[in-house]
Amino acid sequence: MHHEDILVTMQKDLERALQKPADKRRWAMLIDLRKCVGCHACTIACISENKLPPAMKYRPVLEFEQGTYPKVSRTFLPKPCMQCDKPPCVDACPVKGEDGATWKETKGIGAGIVPVNYDKCIGCKKCIPACPYDSRTIDNGTFHTEGTPELQKYETVPSFEYGKLWPRTSDVPTQGNARKCHFCIHRLANGMLPQCITTCIGRAGYFGDENDPQSLIAQVKKVNKLQILKANKGTGPRVYYVSNDKLEVLYV
């Protein structure tokens, strides 16, 4: 048995990383599909944490079935934003630059992620089909308790995306905007792991500074054969996978 839960180990790794200058660290995520049991807790934890409207998932879990009875296999594939080093969504966005609507961040706590500036996003939807991973969705401004006898207050209490308060008030500020996974940088900034990582019951998710050779993610990377999704697209994902399946066959 481990002397501590890997969630605690990775949180210590994160605290160490936060001591380093931003340009020395490299946020990365690794998902070991051998341990993913397809529970969808990550999807829902993320929805709840970031107050996502119905039909919006930053991190869906895809399910695959292969083979013929009784020689069958099932694979569960959680799919966050890949935080690509060469993000096609950024190329597609007409509001350019680091003061624009979306870009590859290079500075600060969010260095390495692809953020969306809701104040600048014009809702043109060009980024949506540009992403090869379907990681972006337009906020339609709806609520989970819509159509019931009473909308509930927990839905309007603000989320903390990008370290700001985003209440879903009458003028839902994110309505019409593209939204996507941001590795929970509002949590990272406070020394907390992304929600999808902490609620994973199979402990399939890893997160940390892959530049730190002492970090758990760096060690897991080292001893396993890694895969990335749609390598042929040349997007340079920051999300790695360990799987017994060939993901290029499963996820095309």
Partner 1 sequence: MSKHDMTRRDFLKRSAIAGCGALVASQLDFARGLIARVEAGELTQFEAYELMKAENTLYTVCLNCNTGCGIKVKIMDGVAVKVDGSPYNPFTLHPHLDMKEDLQRAAKVDGGICPKGQAGHQGAYDPYRITKVLKRAGKRGENKWQSVPFDQAIGEIVNGGVLFSNVPGEEKRQVSGLKELYALKDVKVFEEMGKDVAALRKKKTPEEKAKAVAEFKVKHAANLDKLIDPDHPDFGPKNNQFVYWWGRKKGGRSDFSKRFYDVFGTVNTHGHTTVCQGSLYFACKAMSEQYVGDTFKDGQKFYWQADQENSEYILFVGANLFDGNYGPPNRTPRMTQRMVDGKLKVTVLDPRFTKLASKADRWVPVKPGSDAAFAMGMTRWILENKRYNAPYLAAANKAAAAANKDTTWSNGSWLVKIDDHGKPGTFLRAHEIGLKEKESRKDKDAKEFNFEYLVAMKDGKPVAFDPNDDKNAVTGELFVTTELKDKDGKPVKVKSSLQIMLETAQDKTIAQYAEICGIEAAVIEEVAKEFTSYGKKACVDVHRGPAQHTNGFYNISSLMNLNLLLGNFDWKGGMIVASTFNTDGTKSDKQPFNLAKLKPKGGKQFGLSVIRHDAKYEESTLFKGKESYPAKRNWWPLSSDVYEEILPSMADAYPYGAKVVFSYMGAPSYSLPAGQTQIEALMNLENIPLYFASDITIGSTTMYADYIFPDLHYLERWEMQGSHPNMPVKVQPVRQPVIPSPNEVVTVFGEAQPISYETVWLALAEKMGLAGFGKDGFEKGQDLTRPDDFYIRMVANIATDGKEPVPDASDAEVEIFLKSRRHLPKNVFDPERWQAIAGPNWKKVVYLLNRGGRFDTQEASYKGDHVANKWGKQINLYQEKTAKCKDAFTGKSYHGMARYIPIADTLDREPVEQSKGYDLHLITQRDVRMTKSRTISNQYLTESMPENGIIINTIDAKQLGLKSGDQVKVLSSTNPEGAYNLQNGKKKPMIGKVQVTETIRPGVITFTLGHGHWSTGAEDVTVDGKVIKGDKRRSTGIHANAAMWIDPHLKNTCMIDKVGGSVSFYDTKVKLVKV
Window 18-57: residues binding partner 1 (CB under 8 A): 18, 32, 34-35, 37-41, 43-45, 47-49, 54-55
Partnered with residue 32 across adjacent β-strands are 242
Selection from 208, 15, 27, 13 nearest residue 108 by Cα: 27
Residue choice 84, 172, 217, 229 for contact with partner 1 (CB under 8 A): 172
Q: Give the residue with the Cβ less far from partner 1, 134 or 234.
A: 134
Cβ atoms of 196 and 205 within 8 Å: the answer is yes
9 binds partner 1 (CB under 8 A): no
* b/e per residue 100-133 (b: at least 16 CB within 10 A): ebbbbbeeebbbbbbbbebeebeeeeebbeebbb
Q: Which of 4, 23, 134, 248 binds partner 1 (CB under 8 A)?
A: 4
CA angle 49/10/163 to nearest 5° reads 35
Closest contact distance (angstroms) between CB of 243 and partner 1 is 11
- Interface positions, 68-87, toward partner 1 (CB under 8 A): 68-70, 72-76
Q: What's the closest the beta carbon of residue 232 comes to partner 1, in angstroms? A: 28
Q: Mask: binding to partner 1, 102-141, rule CB under 8 A, as x and -? A: ---x-xxxx----x-xxx---------------------x
> CB-based contacts of 217: which residues, under 8 Å, 6+ apart?
10, 13, 28, 29, 30, 206, 207, 208, 209, 210
Which of 125, 126, 144, 233 is in the footprint of partner 1 by CB under 8 A? 144
Of all helices (H) and strands (E), which one includes residue 90? helix 88-92
Task: Find the distance separating the first CA and the last CA of the chain, reported in whole Å.
Answer: 37
Smallest distance from partner 1 to CB 168, Å? 9
Residues numbered 178-217 forming contacts with partner 1, rule: CB under 8 A = 185-187, 189-193, 195, 198-204
Q: Give 11 or 215: the residue with its C-beta nearer to partner 1.
A: 11
